[in-house]
Each structure stands twice: as C-alpha cells, then as structure tokens.
Amino acid sequence: MSFDSLGLRAELLRAVSEQGYSEPTPIQKQAIPLVLEGRDIMGGAQTGTGKTAGFTLPLLQRLMATARPEKGRRPLRALVLTPTRELAAQVAESVDTYGRHLPLKSTVVFGGVSINPQKQKLIKGVDILVATPGRLLDHVGQRSVNLSKIDILVLDEADRMLDMGFIHDIKKVLALIPKQKQTLLFSATFSNDIKRLADSLLKSPELIEVAQRNTASETVTQVVHPVDKSRKRELLSFLIGSNNWRQVLVFTRTKHGANRLTEQLGKDGISAAAIHGNKSQGARTRALAEFKSGKVRVLVATDIAARGLDIDQLPHVVNYELPNISEDYVHRIGRTGRAGNEGEAMSLVCVDELKLLKDIERLIKRNIPKDVVEGFEVDPSIRAEPIINGRGRQQPKGRNRRPGGNKGSSPWKKNRPASRGNSNNRSRSGNRSKSAA
Ligand code: AMP
C-alpha cells in the first residue's frame, strides 16, 4: 500500500516523499483515513510507530479543508498536547516538515525557556500549536493564546501526561476548548485513568492499536561486546569483515564521531557514508540511496539524523557508542528485526558507558548478554572517564584511571557503574589500533 491511496492532498504526499517514506506504517494506514473522516480516535501506539505523521498529515489536510477566510489574526484551530518539551519539539518539527508546502502556520511552546519569544509568535497568529500543558496555561493566563476556536485536539502520550501529574492542567485546558471538536488521544497503555479520560472526552471513538516498538524487538538478537574505547573501530571492522556483513547501520553519539568513523572505515577498506544534521538534505538522500543499493556497506548515523529515514528491515544495527538517552537505544535497535524478520543489534561498550548500559537494561527490563570477542578482551586496568561531547549531557568531573595500572578487579566483572574521570584521551600501550575512535 502506498501513501497515494490514503486520500491525502498532493502537497502532503510531496512532503512525505521528500522524507523518503515509501509506505505508510500500520498506524498511519489505520489512522489517516479515520482522521480525514473527522472521527475521534483512541490510538494505542508508542513513539517509533510513525504515529506523529499518522495524526499530523490528516490534521493538516483537515485544517486546509476548513480554512477560515477571517480577516485579522488567524484563529488557533489545532492543539497538540504533549508531556515533555522534547516530544513537543519533535512533534512541532514534524508539523513543520509535513506542512512545508501548505500555507499553515504552527509554533511550539514549552516551559524552561523564556516565555516572551513564544508570546510574540502566538500573538501574530498560528493555526497549529504544539504545547506542554503547564506552559500552555501560562500563555492562557497572559492572554497570548485563545483556545475557543479549536477544531482538533490531540493528546499525545496521554498516559505519560497523567503519570507526570498533568491531569488538572489538562482539565483546565479542556474547559477552555469548544465541546464540538475532533479529538485524537494516543497512549502506549490503557490504564483505568486513561479510559476515564477517554470516556469523558471522545465521541464514539475508533480504537486503533499497533504492536509496540518494544515487542518488535523480540525478533532482534541483542548483544553487548565489551571493548576498550580505543579498539572500537578495529573491532567494528573485524566484525563487518569476518562476518561479511553487507548492510550495517552504525550509530555514533556525535556528528564529529560519525565523520571520523566513516573516514576510518574507508581506510580499512570498508565503504561507508555518514548522515547527520550538518549534512545537507541532498547529501543525506544520496548516502541513503547508496546504502540501500549496496554501493556502501555501512551507514554511520547520529540519532537525530536517523529519525525520519526509511531504513526498515536492516539485518545489522551497531551501537558504536551507546546513546545518552536510553529510549534512543530502543529506537535504534527498532531499525532491525522489523515485520517479523530476524535482526541483530550489537553494542560496542567501553568502561565509560557502563552506567548508560545499566540505564538501558533497566528501561528494557532485561540484561543484554555480554560477549567478549576473542582478541578484543578489555584491559581491566582502564578506569571510566567522562563522556565528552555527548548530546545534552556531560558527566561531572572526577578521578579517572588508577595510577599503577592493573590493580583491583575490572568494573566489567562486577558490572558496577563506571567511576568518573576527567580526561578523554586514553591511548594505552598494547593497543593494536593506531587511532582511538
Ligand atoms: P514517531 O512514532 O511518530 O515518533 O515516528 C518514528 C519515526 O518513524 C520517525 O523518525 C519518523 O520520521 C519515521 N516515519 C514515520 N512515518 C514513516 C514511514 N511511513 N516510513 C518510514 N519512516 C517513517
């Protein structure tokens, strides 16, 4: 099934194809026609299923169909509520992306940043607002937004909003929105509280549910290869070469790291291309096409760049570095093992990353098997150091490697969180690799 058969207008199809999406995801297939009909929806879907496009595309189309030729400031007609600023920013980016060929305006508001620039944008008038509940109410209080003309309301990750204690804020917002409207509620879980909220809010809703991303990972074999940081690149080349992998998606934490690794793989005779935020859309599309066609064996990506890329059904995903945000791990490994296919996700983990690994294992509620590759045994005298250049977070400074080398047991054996250090340059004698990755 293609996007063309869903009844979307040409401008939206164009935006979708520019994103490189070839086929709607299961939730999009179900949600888009229903939302276009004006139905209320109760959607069981997590992030990673394509739900954002599932509600954004038909929402944009409906706003176009009911465009109001009013003079003066355009009334706010669609409101998307999200629990966190990260999700709000992500949804707003999707609204921008999918709506880029339409004359609709949107903006995003969330707390933790100055309210004034947000006010300026709201006062000029927008059709669509993505917001976290608390900051939205601040704007209501300051009269920078009027919710009385809302036609479409989306509650995204409703279960998380309730978990975070937003129910009172949500009720206050609902009291300001017209009763007559279309409501789309998305939630990964359906607790009694969610059902109560849905009952009070939705009119004869259509229930749509898709398998969660976490369950898709049942078909993914996960493994951790413990390795010293300075030998990661060597191990990666070894794994690719000795297993004769032809198509591998590799994740790095930073754009710089992606570039460097791509270069180094090239020197090892393994064709690789990098995609990240500093690359133009054209360069990204080209890299993806070459990867898909088999011209390059390895695509090195950052988390942000990998979002929105149609790279389904990959046999191998490698976490060259673990992500700082545990949820990103689930997104990354969800790139393989899709649609019942077997997939393999391996993580090259150095001692600095033990804390990140622990967080990930807590999130996915299982221990990932550890497998030391022969010849790449970790040096137990190396102590953890802070992760520099990580997105968003840098660990505090502290002490690092023990003086005197191999004293005491390796943190790997006890699997305890890494101690902290302050230097990022840890080239040790005995390394086969010349250049630290
Ligand atoms: P979401 O669940 O909305 O957070 O989307 C998860 C990821 O899937 C995002 O990176 C989207 O850009 C991407 N995506 C959404 N729809 C499609 C599609 N039809 N084909 C491929 N990727 C998609």
Longest dimension (CA), the chain: 76
pLDDT in tens, 307-317: 655 565 678 99
pLDDT greater than 50 at residue 260? yes
The arithmetic mean of pLDDT across residues 88-115, rounded, is 94
CB 308 less than 6 A from any atom of ligand 1: yes
Are the beta carbons of 423 and 385 closer than 8 angstroms? yes
- Do the beta carbons of residue 110 and residue 161 sit within 8 Å? no
* Of the ranges 56-65, 321-330, 362-371, the best mean pLDDT one: 56-65
Give the ligand 1 atom nearest the CA of 307: 10
Do residues 193 and 227 share a domain? no
Quote the CA–CA distance of 49 and 414 in Å, as a whole number.
36
* Residues 121 and 253 placed together within one structural domain of the fold: no
Compare 394 and 86 and report the one with higher pLDDT. Answer: 86
The predicted pLDDT at position 275 comes to: 87
350 with 389, same domain: the answer is: yes
Ligand 1 atom nearest to 21, measured from its CA:
20
Indicate the residue among 169, 190, 209 that finishes a domain: 209
Q: State pLDDT tens for residues 421-431.
A: 333 333 333 33
Assess if residue 350 is contained within a domain: yes
Ligand 1 centroid distance, CA of 19 (Å):
9
Nearest ligand 1 atom, CA 309: 22
pLDDT at 329: 87
**Does residue 73 lie within any of the structural domains?**
yes
pLDDT of residue 414: 47
The string of pLDDT tens digits covering residues 35-53 is: 999 999 999 876 677 899 9
Residue with CA closest to ligand 1 atom 20: 21
- Structural domain total, the chain: 2
Residues 395 and 299 in one domain: yes
Q: State whether 105 and 248 are in the same domain.
A: no
22, 25, 184, best to mutate for ligand 1 pocket (most atoms within 8 Å of CB): 25
Ligand 1 atom 19: residue of nearest CA: 24
Output 181 or 339, whichever has higher pLDDT: 181
Domain boundary among 188, 209, 230: 209
Task: Note the pTM of the prediction, 2 decimals.
Answer: 0.57
Closest ligand 1 atom, CA of 46?
2
pLDDT of residue 239: 95
149 and 35 in a single domain? The answer is yes
94 C-alpha to ligand 1 centroid (Å): 10
Report d(CA 226, CA 240) in Å as an integer: 16
Quick one: 381 and 261 in the same domain? Answer: yes
Task: Say what the pLDDT of residue 393 is.
Answer: 42
- Kindly tell me if the per-residue pLDDT of 285 is higher than 50: yes
**Are 111 and 195 within one domain?**
yes
* Same domain membership, residue 143 and residue 59: yes
Q: Whose CA is nearest to atom 18 of ligand 1?
A: 21
Nearest CA owner, ligand 1 atom 6: 48
Residue 415 pLDDT: 44
The Å distance, Cα 223 to ligand 1 centre, comes to 25
Kindly state whether residues 198 and 231 are assigned to the same domain: no
Mean model confidence pLDDT for the chain: 83
Tens digits of per-residue pLDDT, 181-218?
999 999 877 778 888 999 999 999 988 987 554 444 56
Q: Which ligand 1 atom is at minimum distance from the Cα of 45?
A: 2
Pocket of ligand 1 contains residue 54 by CB under 6 Å: no
Q: What percent of the chain has pLDDT over 70?
A: 81
Q: Given this model, what pLDDT does residue 69 score?
A: 57
Instruction: Give the residue from 148, 177, 209 where a domain finishes.
Output: 209
Ligand 1 pocket residue status of 25, Cβ below 6 Å = yes
| CATH number of the domain where residue 411 is located | 3.40.50.300
247: domain range? Answer: 220-415
- Looking at residue 404, its pLDDT comes to 41
